[in-house]
Amino acid sequence: MGKFKMSAEEVKLSGNLVRLFAIGGETTGYGLESTIELDLKTNNLEDKFNEDANVSVVGSFKLVEGVETGKRYVFVVSELKAIG
> How far apart (Å, rounded) are the C-alpha atoms in residues 24 and 27?
9
Q: Does residue 43 sit in helix, strand or coil?
A: coil
Q: Which residue has the higher pLDDT, 9 or 77?
A: 77
> How far apart (Å, rounded) are the C-alpha atoms in residues 14 and 56?
4
Q: Does residue 14 sit in helix, strand or coil?
A: strand
At 14 the pLDDT is 72
Question: Residue 80: pLDDT band by 50, 70, 90 thresholds?
Answer: very high
User: Tens digit of pLDDT for each residue in 33-46?
Assistant: 766 788 999 999 99
At 44 the pLDDT is 95
At 2 the pLDDT is 43
Task: Give the mean pLDDT of 64-79.
Answer: 88
> How far apart (Å, rounded) are the C-alpha atoms in residues 21 and 9?
27
- Enter the pTM of the model: 0.62
Q: Which residue ranges form the domains of the chain, and what is each CATH number?
A: 11-82 (2.40.50)
Report how far Cα 25 is from the mean position of its chain's Cα atoms: 15
> How far apart (Å, rounded) are the C-alpha atoms in residues 22 and 25?
5
- In 3D, which of 42, 16, 13 has the Cα closest to residue 28? 42
* 79: pLDDT strictly greater than 70: yes
At 72 the pLDDT is 85
